[in-house]
Amino acid sequence: MLNQPVHIVSSTNVSTMCADKVQRKPLRLIGAACNNMGIGKNGHLPWDLPTEFKFFLDTTTNVSLPGKLNMMVWGRGCWFSNPDSLFSILPNVLHVVLSTTLSTLPEHAHFLCQDFDSVIGLALLQPLYDLVETIWVVGGPQVYQEALMHPWCELVFLTNVMADFDCDVFFPQFDQSIFKKQQRFPGVPNEIQEENGVTFKFEVFKREICSAEVI
């Protein structure tokens, strides 16, 4: 699958798939935000928290069966803020980059989508529909915002970095009466972590008011 020809996808070439009534895929957000909900500065993470980053990698690459894959959905800025070396080492992942301006697929990416609906449409196309377990939206802010609004969005993994950092990008506000903070979540450490003098806690918010509509 990872050696398939590359794809550039727009909503026009996947829209018929979206129109069908199908089973939804788990759509999840993952990120880390500090006290003012800041997530980035000058195109990079504001902090150096290897344990937090490892949790991100372990979570997004985890699949329940050999041969299954997750989609990782990246905004263009977020994609290019990471070193190439990261993408080539991640197992079980199809990288989807979102951009309206790129016309060629970035190295190591598997798909380039021109809008968020195309990501959903892609996940509905065979053979991906059978292969993909979870769609992980990894940021930045615009992609998070669109994912939060999507009816498939069920969980938000948002590490609480309990410190003040100077940031220029922020996690979008979301309704915590709809996405409720879980006291515990399977597989997610519950205790407060500390690294490089910064405390943080892995937190999970679960949608508890269902959207009536299934795309």
Looking at the chain, the number of H-run helices and the number of E-run strands are 7, 13
Spatial separation of the C-alpha atoms in residues 194 and 154, rounded to whole Å: 28
Amino acid at 47: W
Amino acid at 69: L
Spatial separation of the C-alpha atoms in residues 90 and 18, rounded to whole Å: 28
**Contacts (CB under 6 A) with ligand NAP, residues 142-201:** 142-143, 146, 169
Spatial separation of the C-alpha atoms in residues 25 and 28, rounded to whole Å: 10
Only one of the segments 72-80, 122-130, 178-186, 198-206 lies at the binding site for ligand NAP (rule: CB under 6 A); that segment is 72-80
Closer residue to ligand NAP, CB minimum distance, 142 or 211: 142
Strands (E), 16-92: 27-33, 38-40, 69-75
Closer residue to ligand NAP, CB minimum distance, 51 or 68: 51
User: How many residues touch ligand NAP (CB under 6 A)?
Assistant: 28
Residues comprising the chain, all counted: 215
Residue 202 binds ligand NAP, judged by CB under 6 A? no
Closer residue to ligand NAP, CB minimum distance, 138 or 155: 138
| Sign of torsion over alpha carbons 208, 149, 61, 125 | positive
Q: How far is residue 47 CA from its own chain's centroid?
A: 19
Tokens representing 157 are 């993994």
Among all residues, which ones are annotated catalytic?
Answer: 45, 52
The CA distances from residue 49 to 20, 68, 81, in Å, are 42, 29, 16
Residue 54 binds ligand NAP, judged by CB under 6 A? no
CB of 81 to ligand NAP, least distance (A): 5
Closer residue to ligand NAP, CB minimum distance, 68 or 82: 82
| x/- map, 133-152, ligand NAP, by CB under 6 A | -----xxxxxx--x------
| x/- map, 93-132, ligand NAP, by CB under 6 A | -----xxxxx-----------xxx----------------
| x/- map, 15-44, ligand NAP, by CB under 6 A | ----------------xx------xx--xx
Tokens representing 83 are 């070193």
Closer residue to ligand NAP, CB minimum distance, 10 or 68: 10
Q: By CB under 6 A, name the binding residues for ligand NAP.
A: 31-32, 39-40, 43-45, 75-78, 81, 98-102, 114-116, 138-143, 146, 169
